[in-house]
Chain A
């Protein structure tokens, strides 16, 4: 089946620094990718929709200047958490769908972010 990867799988950073998370579709092209955030014992919450070649669409309450999304190619989207704070510590998950011929999305394995 289709594979979506994320890098890194886990990262620890100091408060105030920026962290970049990559999401790649390994064997298919994806014009749209989605970024979710999941806090402990909670469900996934959609943060934003990443569109190849255009600006991302953010969900209500998600700061676009804090969570920078870049979707420069059909196989790569990046999420940069700028000026990270401890409350940004979470599990970040991306998903992607094929551009055609596929009826579902595929999720990455997630990235665990811990901000100290």
Chain B
């Protein structure tokens, strides 16, 4: 699976939208973009995934560029509980093994 590049950290004010970028310039046509997050000392939590189209669920929105070389995870109204490491992962098989990169440490401040 191709690799992703994410900023190591970012801060966000409580109540504001958090926009988390992810670059995946070598993504293959059959690779999905998955986002997970890991709150300190817990297991990762699934957030959202997409292939080509933008996606939205109760947690977040995922915007994928037309060329699919990058994507943005949007947390519409960040809360203190959204403080976590966010991982952008590419995979052709959602049930297959996942390769975690360093992720982005998001800190939401009051």
Binary A-proximity of B91-103 (CB < 8 A = 1, otherwise 0): 0001101111111
Q: Which of A43, A46, A110, A112 contacts B97 (CB 8 A)?
A: A46
Give the docked Cα–Cα distance between A112 and B94 (Å).
26
Contact yes or no, B43 A103, CB < 8 A? no
**Given A49-B97, A97-B94, is A109 in contact with B42 using a C-beta cutoff of 8 Å?**
yes
Q: How far is the CB of A89 from chain B (nearest CB, A)?
A: 14
Residues of B within 8 A of A104 (CB): 34, 46, 49, 94
**Given A43-B100, A44-B100, is A93 in contact with B94 using a C-beta cutoff of 8 Å?**
no
Q: How far is the CB of B20 from chain A (nearest CB, A)?
A: 16
Contact yes or no, A93 B43, CB < 8 A? yes
Residues of A within 8 A of B42 (CB): 109-110
- A32 on the B face (CB < 8 A): yes
Contact size class for B? 20 to 34
Q: Which of A36, A106, A112 contacts B41 (CB 8 A)?
A: A112
What's the A-B contact tally at a CB cutoff of 8 Å? Answer: 54
- B25 on the A face (CB < 8 A): no
Give the docked Cα–Cα distance between A108 and B42 (Å).
8
Shortest Cβ distance from A97 into B: residue: B95
**Given A103-B49, A105-B94, A105-B95, is A110 in contact with B102 using a C-beta cutoff of 8 Å?**
no
**Size of the chain A interface, CB-CB below 8 angstroms:** 25
Residues of B within 8 A of A97 (CB): 94-95
Give the docked Cα–Cα distance between A56 and B38 (Å).
26
Give the docked Cα–Cα distance between A93 and B44 (Å).
9
* 8 A Cβ contacts from B59-101 to A: 85, 87, 94-95, 97-101
Give the docked Cα–Cα distance between A36 and B42 (Å).
13
- B109 on the A face (CB < 8 A): no
Give the docked Cα–Cα distance between A46 and B98 (Å).
8
Supplied contacts A34-B98, A44-B38, A95-B98, 13 more A-B pairs, CB within 8 Å: A6-B43, A36-B100, A44-B100, A46-B97, A49-B97, A93-B44, A95-B44, A97-B94, A97-B95, A103-B94, A104-B94, A107-B45, A109-B42
Q: Which of A43, A98, A108 contacts B43 (CB 8 A)?
A: A108
